Amino acid sequence: MLKQLVAEPSISSTTADIDRSNLRVIEHLANWLDDLGFATELMPLPDRPDKANLIATLGANGKTHPGGLVLAGHTDTVPVDESLWQSDPFQLRDSDQRFYGLGSCDMKGFFPVALHAAATFADKNLAAPLTIVATSDEESSMAGSRYLVESGTPKADYAIIGEPTGMQPIYAHKGVSMMSVQVHGAAGHSSDPSLGNNALDTMHAVMSALMSFREQLAQQHQHPGFAVNVPTLNLGCMRAGDNPNRICGHAELQIDLRLLPGMDSEAIHKQLEQRCHDAAVGSNTHVTVSTVYPPVPPFESSAEGALTKSLAQLSGRTPGTVAFGTEAHFLQTLGMQTVVWGPGHIDQAHQPDEYLEQSHILPAIDTLQKVIGQYCLT
């Protein structure tokens, strides 16, 4: 199964010429789940016939009687630079007790594991439904899981998102916003400053404003559950000007803002934008602030939640937090107690020669079988 899933390119990107359909991956999953007796529903995204989510339910009353457990994952991968790989990223390579391939770890590998665990229950009478959800575009816009929320489906009591956490149950993560701050000035000959409006001069003030905003956020917000226990604001890259002897007409700074659970992303974005505008006052330049990708909201359920505890006990790992974003916020919004837990390590995700550690596969199947038994059988 993993070999077939990896062989289907399903890169998602906000850059249109790299972006690919995820339908082939969805079709494989739908066929396999169909064979197991799941009721499968394809959910094409509005205005995107080349993208779809899949909702597959086992347990006849799944739709009319909410409850039970969702196992969720995304079908897309990040873009790939094939020249950096030792082998074809779309051909699964079995070597060193690892499965190498694009998406092997993040996170096509979760589906065969989930399906194998689910197969045990195919002929059982479930007390609560087992639902497998496959989404599109997690790595870019999260359009798939946003659409789940819009559609109000699926409904369940519990959800496991099978992102690679090394099988540690994750009950909280930071939000991720990548933003672009642009200063629009006017170019001119460098010998006379009055011939233009220097965008870099304003950017200097904008950067200072952002750094003091960062300090203020860190003073106001802390969360003891995180290794880096404050929100972070990274000045990541800047592009500006072209010549030392020309007044810089335009400058762009891209930042990465990671907010803690409980922080209001929208309100913070507004404050940040205001700080940038204020920094440009009196400069004859103007500033615009936009998001590079739609922001991933922060997520927090309870370290003491039933599902967190079950997963901790079954996989022998203490619940924790991570600093990367997932679809957890969206499933939680749909009313599910949500935990991020899956085979593979995030260190291997988004990397050349991405791989899934084979030693994770059987323990992951075993844990999922027990969780399904606990939450769907009784």
Residue number with CB closer to Zn ion (19 or 163): 163
Indicate which residue of 8, 138, 300, 354 is catalytic.
138
Contacting range for Zn ion; rule: CB under 5 A; set: 118-126, 155-163, 308-316, 362-370: 155-163
Window 93 to 132, contacts with Zn ion (CB under 5 A): 106-107
Q: Residue 40 Cβ, how far from Zn ion at the closest point, in Å?
A: 22
Q: Residue 78: which of 354, 361, 344 has the closest Cα?
A: 354
Q: Residue 78 Cβ, how far from Zn ion at the closest point, in Å?
A: 8
Q: Residue 130 Cβ, how far from Zn ion at the closest point, in Å?
A: 22
Residue type, 129: P
Q: Residue 250 Cβ, how far from Zn ion at the closest point, in Å?
A: 34
From CA 37, how far away is CA 226, in angstroms rounded? 41
Buried residues in 19-46 as b, exposed as e (16+ CB within 10 A): bbbbbbbbebbbebbeebebbbeebebe
Indicate which residue of 8, 76, 139, 357 is catalytic.
76
From CA 177, how far away is CA 260, in angstroms rounded? 12
Contacting range for Zn ion; rule: CB under 5 A; set: 6-14, 95-103, 158-166, 313-321: 158-166
Residue number with CB closer to Zn ion (138 or 300): 138
Residue number with CB closer to Zn ion (280 or 340): 340
Buried residues in 267-294 as b, exposed as e (16+ CB within 10 A): ebbeebbebbeebbeebebebebeeebe
Count residues binding Zn ion (CB under 5 A). 3
By CB under 5 A, tell whether 19 contacts Zn ion: no
Q: Residue 227 Cβ, how far from Zn ion at the closest point, in Å?
A: 20
76 is catalytic: yes
Q: Residue 105 Cβ, how far from Zn ion at the closest point, in Å?
A: 9
Residue number with CB closer to Zn ion (135 or 182): 135
Contacting range for Zn ion; rule: CB under 5 A; set: 18-26, 121-129, 157-165, 364-372: 157-165
Q: Which position's Cβ is nearest Zn ion?
A: 106
304 is catalytic: no
Window 333 to 362, contacts with Zn ion (CB under 5 A): none
- Burial environment of residue 378 by CB neighbours within 10 A (0 to 12, 13 to 18, 19 or more): exposed
- Catalytic positions are 76, 138
Residues contributing to the site for Zn ion (CB under 5 A): 106-107, 163
